[in-house]
Structure 1
Amino acid sequence: MSVSTAKQPMVSDFSDTPVSSVESNGYRVATRVIFPSDADLDVMPLYIDLDEDESESHIHPEDVRGRDSIAVRPGVRMSLGSYFNAFPASYWRRWSVVRTVRLVVNTSGQGTVVVYKSNARGNRQRVQSVQVSGEHNQQVFDLPLETFGDGGFYWFDLVAGDNEMVLESAQWWVPTASQPHGTATFATTTLNKPDYVVKNLRAMAGDVSLRDVVDEILIIDQGTKKVAEYAGFDEVKAELGDQLVVIDQANLGGSGGFSRGMYEGATRGKSDYVILLDDDISLETESIIRLVTFADMCKKPTLVGGHMFDLFNRTVLHTYGEVVEPYYWQPALPHPDQSLGHDFVHGGGKPDDGGLRSTEWLHQRTDVDYNGWWMDLIPVSVIKEIGLSLPVFIKWDDAEYGLRAKEAGYNTVSLPGAAVWHISWVDKDDLVGWQAYFHDRNRYISALLHSPFPRGGDIVSNSQKLDLKHLVSMQYYTVMGRLQAQRDLLAGPGTLPGLLATKLPAIRAAAKDFSDSTLKKEYEDFPDIHAPKPKRPRKRSVESSRFLKMAEGAKAVLRQFRRPRPGHLDNPQTEIAFKDNKWWNTAQWDSALVTNAEGTGIAWYKREPAEMRRMLAESAANQARILHEWPRLRDEYKEALPQLTSFEQWEELFGIEHRPLGEPPAGEEH
């Protein structure tokens, strides 16, 4: 490490040049140190890392002087070792051609700049400390990346002296290595969320540096509440001009919307990358620039995705990366010490909650199989080689695509410091209801295509257990969808295109036939609850309690085959909150009022032994066939994959004429 005497221009010196295009002395800006544009205290811990004894009260919104400038009060120490401002050195070391990074810190006032690094175990190491004073002082640090093979970050702290110290700007620069500056087509697929879409378009329109890496912003509108008719759209359209294109099409699900974005990005011939963005997100626009810059510097074409934070609990990270566990064929965390729902604020609810510096597992480089399509950059060259998404509507499309790319030799990177805020899965239960069909079928399809085990490992056994779990939970509508999924899977890959636009309406239409899928808003909409006589509590040791729980669970399963007692189906026996809707609890009752995950409705679950027996028998037959016919199904789906994901197949599904690659469409809809 060295402190360079070479003067690096301030980004502000390039007043007419977007940051994404700035180059100087053979370097380009990889990432800027940034702060939230609205000085939002709820997200500030993602930009400034707080110690355990600190809270958001140590941060004053008026100290934020601009997008890349902040004041440090006298005697205060401020760490930029945060999610958005630490430099993810190990990711650059592993995936890019870069071997050194240059940190440029521009300050005014007296104080100290302290540079740190970490290793994969999260151990903090001081690298260099420099005292600064005067107006418009600049410090340049040239930092090697050799030691970051398994993990680690660079960051810096600011320590103000007796007077205020101002960070005017700071950037992490990397050698250009003759790598070109790429550009991207953005593709958002939306279904009746025009408010989110217009808000994000405003953010994009207001970021000059972001627009410099954008060729076009495509809105694939599959809903009935049209984005182009929403208040504020005309104004943002006027700002973005020809960069904004809205394409209306039928509801073909996420796979259809994102495939249209990939298709347009590849055939129009303008962009190096397509960036997929979900509609119900809040966007940190700097993340997009970071994805493109990182992709430009990668050793070979690489899919680069961002992380997802909870839109309503904004310092909570969904996951640091995802893989598909190969034997059980389930989404999984890459490392056992990682956790879902990590809160970057200390005391967020779990013992290991806290910022980047204090959370050891965040420092280990996390290698992934795929990235969620809330934000994912895909090189156009990869799209042209491996095709578009499978026509599966929703669920497992992003995971399958990442696995397909990996098998073709193209890795996926989930890049720290690049993220969106998205509606959390916490308030959803997409394993129950109409989405269960797509979960079961598409999980099977992805396993047939990519599982390393001769008959898919444990997937068949696990799927049958899930059928049984839903049945003893009186979720007959869910099992109806899962059984249809198994039938359609066995029918072969040729059915997928025809089902893309028709399956969802058919499944939803069947909901009216099941009481467990018929929601009402108030408890008063149901007959009065007739609760049974309470049981006498029994004293139990820990060991006997475990045994009794197992015995009671088995007893609860067996009772599903017996006729409900008189009157139990005329009036519900109890209320069950969503969090308590576990099979071993629900299975104890003949009927119950159960709230949904969103808290917006109540369903009346009723035990139906005849339906239970019929569905369980079909499940056993379907799963036995899938296991027995696995080799045939695997070969059929693998053989069909190139055609199913081809541009020609999707042109037919989009209802458009064939377009040669690189040839833009004759006209736009908006």
Structure 2
Amino acid sequence: MSEQEESTRWAPIQRIILPSSDQPDTVSLYVDAGSASGIRLRENDEFARTPKLLEDKLQMSSSESREAHFEDLLSRHSMRIRSGEQMSFGTYFNAFPASYWRRWTSVRDVRLVVQTKGTGTVTVYKSNARGSVQRVDGKHVDGTATSIFELTLKPFGDGGWYWFDLAASSGDLVIENGQWEARDGSRPKGQVTLQITTMNKPDFCLNNARILAENRDVLDNVKEILIVDQGTLKVEQQEDFEAVRESLGGKLRVINQANLGGSGGFARGMYESVENGSDYVLLLDDDIVVEPESIVRLLTFADHCRKPTIVGGHMFDLYNRSVLHTFGEVVDPFRIVPALPHADMETRHDFSVANLRQTPWLHRRVDVDYNGWWMCLIPTSVIKEIGLSLPLFIKWDDAEYGLRAREAGFATVSLPGAAVWHVSWIDKDDLVGWQAYFHARNRLITTLIHSPYPKGGRVLRESVQADVKHLVSMQYFTEHGRIEALRDLFKGPEGLHKVLATKLPEINALKSEYPDAQLKDDVDDFPAPKIGRGPMGGTVVGMPSKKELIPWGIKTVARQLIKAPGPESSERPQGYLAHRDNRWFRVAHYDSVVVSNAEGTGASWYQRDPKKLKSMLAEATLLHAKLLREWDKLADQYRRAVPEISSFDAWKKTFEANAKDDA
């Protein structure tokens, strides 16, 4: 092949895929039945100006559209369209995210190749950043046919997708294969280490290993599949582990180490990927189900990026598989909290209700600060330059790394069409309990290192407010963790590695001292409340308005400090509260109440204690005042320490000190 021919050779960059046979509830993510146009919005559209009308139109469109027949899915790449029916591939997994390729790669032209058998039409569409739909091209097909469409990426500066629809005429039309291609030239393909961090979830790990073994074509450029096992239920001790390892052809390796949290597990994956010569590491959570094609898409996209780029996948809800948790994340710099990049974005978007063609905001390109480490591809060249994860155990490690990478000139892209199904935290409350320590400490560390605002913007104010909310809610174990976080912050960054394996056991050892930390399986395990003893006469209590909030807080804290709990409060609760009703402004009216947890697995007994409230509020206030005074000194200290505490040498010492014998 001549040099000119090599430079114009087309190679696949995204294959058309269909759901596996065990996932009928995900069909809407792959194919979309019905008309091609979806909803077209214009600047003067009545529906664009009136959100309620748009919502009604979406619901009407969804209810009237036909569904794809699951039995027509012939393989992972082939599907039958029945006579007289139309099927769109303008979906999450099969539309081509043209604006992302236009923005981050050197690709400027793509082509679509569709192989069909039967009689019908292939029609290509595109959208812009507003979600407006435009027909691009179309072909009539008959018999065995290969349709090729050459397409430009020039119009996709701010957003937009390409996709195609198939319509069958007098007989069935079968798509046998389809793919989006780019001029590949002699571009080398990077090698990746797939790394899973796990803590007592061996079933999830082995399930994903089986999925990979059943889709061996996605492993062509996978150097190694690495499981960092930090639990007591060992992956290697599972009955079918050896069979799974054998099915992966020697690519699976397990490292056993002490529980160093997510940051310790993922840092190990970063470290090992550099050591084994990989070009990338793909970090994966353990409690996921992976769409295997996503691995190829992330790797292919990263290979085509103009400079080293972190590329992440999205997260769908494992227990509601058509629901996308979020389309991209940024960090609000004034508050240092996760935020949405655009005001019109939704969280928890359900593609079975409104698919890509029917949802205008999905067509705007979303630029992010970081991607969650449920699925995140990081070039090893980036790791060599900026270091590994900070030793934070859990919480804020992924966001901090994305911010650090951005400051060093490395972007993060959350790539549509690449995703996992993950156990969603929508039904969890990780701001209470043992995780409160890590949330509070690591948010403050991230603020000290990255905040562009004096004294960290609004973070200290919100931290004080959180203390008050937890205390008036009788969440004393949670507040103990938050106070401990403030104390440890003043010890400086040098101690972060030392406490990585010990802090969680220390926190959990305190549970016996706090009734609110002691979980029982059933509310009947607690004494029954006496009828009529609940506060406010059973009236539902609403949240104070902004105007009333400060007077309400002063009055509530004063009452809880001065007024002794009712004489029966330690003997029996005043009532039960479901988790959804466990709001600080409501719980604050009780002296004693049983509250169920977010997961629905048990309940705890909250009991008001004025002495704990007084001592904890005083200490938290003093610590925040000290932090305000010493902010600039601490910020300089933590910023200067980042290269050292994220270094290969520092992590190597931690790994060696926390090594475990192989299972």
- Global fold match (TM > 0.5): yes
Q: How far apart in 2 are the matches of 1:552 and 1:444?
A: 27
Query: Is the contact made by 1:305 and 1:371 (CA closer than 8 Å) also made in structure 2?
Result: yes
Aligned-pair distance for 1:560?
1.6
Once the two structures are superposed, what CA deviation does each residue of 1:470-519 show, in whole Å capped at 9, x if it has no partner?
A: 11111000000000000000111111111101000000110111000101
Counterpart residue identity of residue 21, structure 2: D
Q: Which runs of 5+ in 2 are unaligned?
A: 1-5, 35-60
- How far the C-alpha of 1:524 sits from its partner, in A, is 2.2
Residue identity matched to 2:300:
T
1:291 partnered with 2:282 = no
Instruction: Give the C-alpha shift of residue 183 in structure 1.
Output: 1.4
What letter corresponds to residue 629 of structure 1 in structure 2? E
Give the drift of 1:649.
0.4
Distance in 1 between the 2:118 and 2:217 partners? 28
Note if contact 2:92-2:416 (Cα within 8 Å) is conserved in structure 1: yes
Q: Corresponding residue for 2:412? A: 412
CA contact (8 A) 1:50 1:355 kept: no
In structure 2, the partner of 1:27 is 10
The CA deviation at 1:242 is: 2.5
**CA-CA distance at 1:50 after TM superposition:** 4.5
Could you say which residue in structure 2 is the equivalent of 1:8? none
TM-score (norm 2): 0.91
> What does residue 72 of structure 1 align with?
81
Q: Is the 8 A contact 1:41 1:59 kept in 2?
A: no
CA distance in 2, matches of 1:626, 1:538: 40
> Tell me, what secondary structure is at the counterpart of 2:496?
helix
**Contact 1:220-1:257 within 8 A present in 2 as well:** yes
Name the structure 1 match of 2:45.
none
Residue of structure 2 in register with 1:322 after alignment: 329
Alignment partner of 1:392 is 2:375:
no
CA distance in 1, matches of 2:592, 2:533: 15
The answer to whether the aligner puts 1:616 opposite 2:617 as a matched pair is: yes
Percent identity of paired positions between Structure 1 and Structure 2? 54
Q: Which residue of 1 aligns with 2:20?
A: 37
* Distance in 1 (alpha carbons) for counterparts of 2:31 and 2:547: 49
Partner residue, 1:588: 589
Contact 1:85 1:417 in 2 (8 A): yes
Contact 1:40 1:61 survives alignment (8 Å): no
Moved more, 403-412 or 59-68: 59-68
Deviates more, 1:559-568 or 1:222-231: 559-568
Separation in structure 1 between the aligned mates of residue 261 and residue 85 of structure 2, nearest angstrom: 51
What letter corresponds to residue 37 of structure 1 in structure 2?
Answer: S
Distance across 1 between alignment mates of 2:609 and 2:411: 48
2: CA distance between counterparts of 1:203 and 1:37?
A: 10
Indicate whether 1:194 and 2:202 are aligned.
yes
Decide whether aligned partners of structure 1 residues 575 and 228 sit closer, same or farther in structure 2, where only a CA change above 3 A counts.
Answer: same
Q: Using the TM superposition, give the Cα deviation of residue 47 of structure 1 relative to its aligned residue in structure 2, in angstroms.
A: 0.4
1:76-135: CA deviation from partner (whole Å, max 9, x where unpaired): 111100000000000000000100111001111111111100000111111112111112
One-letter amino acid matched to 1:401: Y
Secondary structure in structure 2 of the residue aligned to 1:426: helix
Once the 2 structures are TM-superposed, how far is the Cα of residue 233 of structure 1 from its aligned partner? 1.0
Report the Cα offset of residue 564 of structure 1: 1.1
**2-structure distance, mates of 1:460, 1:553:** 17
Residue 549 of structure 1: how far off its partner (Å): 8.7
Describe the superposition over 1:38-81 as per-residue Cα deviations: whole angstroms up to 9, x where unpaired: 16220000001255345897222220111100000111111100
| Aligned counterpart, 2:603 | 602
| 2:647 corresponding residue in structure 1 | 646
Cα displacement (A) at 1:565: 2.1
1:224-235 alignment runs, 5 A limit: 224-235=232-243
Task: State yes or no: 1:248 paired with 2:256.
Answer: yes
Cα distance, 1:176 vs structure 2: 1.1
Q: Is the 8 A contact 2:104 2:305 kept in 1?
A: yes
**1:365 matched to which residue of 2?**
365
RMSD after superposition: 2.3
1:127: which partner in 2?
136
Deviation, structure 1 residue 571:
1.2
Of stretches 614-623 and 30-39 in structure 1, the one that deviates more from structure 2 is 30-39
Residues 120, 81 of structure 1: alpha-carbon distance in 2 compared, 3 angstrom cutoff: same
- The alpha-carbon distance between structure 1 residues 183 and 570, as it changes in their structure 2 partners (threshold 3 A), is same
Q: Which deviates more from structure 2 when the two are superposed, residues 112-121 or residues 526-535?
A: 526-535
Task: Tell me which of 225, 232, 245 is aligned to 1:237.
Answer: 245
1:450-480 Cα shifts (integer Å, max 9, x gaps) = 1111211011111110011111111000000
Match of 2:422 in 1: 422
Cα 1:151/1:237, change in 2 over 3 Å: same
Question: Displacement of 1:537 after TM fit?
Answer: 9.4
Query: In structure 2, how many angstroms separate the alpha carbons of the residues matched to 1:416 and 1:216?
Result: 25
Q: Is the 8 A contact 2:298 2:312 kept in 1?
A: yes
2:258, 2:658 within 8 Å by CA — same for their partners in 1? no
**Alignment partners' CA distance in 1, 2:553 and 2:496:** 38
Alignment of 1:506-545 (within 5 A): 506-532=506-532
**Between Structure 1 and Structure 2, how many residues are aligned?**
629
Mapped to 1, the partners of 2:432 and 2:662 lie a distance apart of 37
DSSP 3-state at the match of 1:357: helix
**Cα distance 1:362–1:485, how it changes in 2: closer, same or farther (>3 A)?**
same
What is residue 112 of structure 1 aligned with on the other side? 121
Matched, 1:88 2:71: no
Contact 2:523 2:602 in 1 (8 A): no
Instruction: Give 3-state SS (helix, strand or coil) of 1:498's partner.
Output: coil
> Aligned partners of 1:544, 1:484: CA distance in 2, in Å?
29
Distance 1:483 1:515 in 2: 18
Aligned residue runs from structure 1 range 493-572, under 5 A = 493-532=493-532, 555-561=555-561, 562-572=563-573
What CA distance in whole angstroms lies between the structure 1 residues aligned with 2:352 and 2:372?
A: 24
Contact 2:544 2:552 in 1 (8 A): no
> Which residue is 2:42 aligned to?
none
Farther off after superposition, 253-262 or 34-43: 34-43
Say whether the 8 Å CA contact 1:316–1:341 is kept in structure 2: yes
* Matched-pair contact (CA < 8 Å) for 1:39–1:61: no
1:276 aligns with 2:283: yes
Task: Tell me the alpha carbon deviations over residues 215-264 of structure 1, each in whole angstroms, 9 at most, x when there is no partner.
Answer: 00001011111111112211111122321111111111101100011000
Q: Which residue of 2 aligns with 1:143?
A: 151
Look up the match of 2:67.
Answer: 58
Shift of 1:539: 13
d(CA) in 2 for partners of 1:551, 1:638? 38
Alpha-carbon shift at residue 627 of structure 1 (Å):
1.2
Q: Greater shift after overlay, 451-460 or 304-313?
A: 451-460
State the partner residue of 1:13: none
Alpha carbons 2:448, 2:456 under 8 Å: kept: yes
Q: Which runs of 5+ in 1 are unaligned?
A: 1-22, 347-353, 659-667
Equivalent residue in structure 2 for 1:153, among 142, 151, 161: 161
